[in-house]
Amino acid sequence: MNYPRTRPRRLRTTPAMRRMVAQHRLDASDLILPAFVREGISEPVAISSMPGVSQHTLDSLRKAAAEAVEAGVGSIMLFGVPEDAKKDAVGTPGTDPDGILQRGLRAVREEVGDDLVVMSDVCLDEVTDHGHCGVLDARGRVDNDATLPRYAEMAVVQADAGAHVLGPSGMMDGQIGVIRDALEAAGHHDVGVLAYSVKYASAFYGPFREAVNSSLKGDRRTYQQDPPNAREALRELELDLAEGADMVMVKPGMPYLDVLRSVADASPVPVAAYQISGEYAMVEAAAERGWLDRERAIEETLMSFRRAGADMVLTYWATEFAQRLRVAAGG
């Protein structure tokens, strides 16, 4: 018989062999934990479409941040959920120094200091009564240029509250430059900006709407990117870099791995991928029904982002997976 001289299987024979030749690795410090802090509750509220994820009180948010630090997670991204009665057309809770997101930022910084990179969401969707990411004009359309000053004010208020990094997620043209200028003028020279440079209008955001008690009327297709288009992702990247972005993001994650690869190849700054609520919910639902191995599926999805070029991954499994890595390492 003519036996094969080359056998790729030789490098798959044992766990130790597979570890030695692995091209990509997951580290807890690469993970970012998205977390929701809600006003007016006395105990955490479970999010039904995201099993295992809750809207936090300030106290439970502190605990979650401390657990993330202990597990070795690199960062936390905060989203604020104000009381519905406080929402208005211009998102006043977003620029109120005593708004729930700002209180959450202060609480986390008091709890963990600089041991965790504390990020915050700069967007109006959680704090407006119409649920859009910007101010509306007289015809009910999102007014890009009228929204930018609101973002600038939000950015300064969040930086004042202790955010290390701001995450503008509204997809308004020019938002990164306006925010960078506002931060510099306020003396926040060291506060970074993680630009949601590539954010598609996706069906996978569904559970997130529950998580932030969304008041959305209509959709966001006029300002978020259209799923058929890939080239414009690089245009958005170029614009955000020119405006001063320190890091960039692709969102959602798994449905856009091709776009993530293109952005990672072109970006001179760190690249993040957001494993969004719908991706999380699908794995949890399938695992609950016994249709897949939950732990293996989580690891495989996270590895897909690293393999596609992401330096950081936002995932609701951040603390859990970091704890698993620590146990596996004997820590």
* C-alpha span between 301 and 312 (Å, rounded): 13
Q: Is residue 152 exposed (0-12), middle (13-18) or buried (19+ Cβ within 10 Å)? A: buried
Mark 173-187 as b/e (b = at least 16 C-beta within 10 Å).
eebbbbbbebbeeee
For the chain, give the number of residues.
331
Name the active-site residue from 63, 87, 199, 217: 199
Q: Is 199 a catalytic residue?
A: yes
Up-side HSE of residue 249: CA atoms within 13 Å toward CB? Answer: 28
What is the Cα 310 distance to its own chain's centre? 13
Residue 81, beta-bridge partner list: 38
Among candidate residues 86, 87, 217, 251, the one labeled active-site is: 251
Rama region for 164: left / alpha / beta (φ>0; ψ in -120 to 50; rest): alpha
Known catalytic membership, residue 63: no
Q: Measure the CA–CA gap between 249 and 305, rounded to whole angstroms.
A: 12
199-238 core/surface letters (b: 16 or more CB in 10 A; e: else): bbebebbebbebbbbbbeeeebeebbbeeeeeeebbebbe
Q: Is 13 exposed, middle or buried (0-12, 13-18, 19+ CB in 10 A)?
A: exposed
| Closest listed residue to residue 144, CA positions, set 118, 109, 121, 170 | 170
Q: Residue type for 238, please?
A: E
- In this structure, are strands 117-122 and 75-81 parallel, antiparallel, or unpaired? parallel
- Cβ-in-10-Å burial (0-12, 13-18, 19+) of 160 comes to middle
Beta carbons of 253 and 274 less than 8 angstroms apart: yes
Left, alpha or beta for 252 (phi > 0: left; psi -120 to 50: alpha)? beta
List residues with catalytic annotation.
199, 251
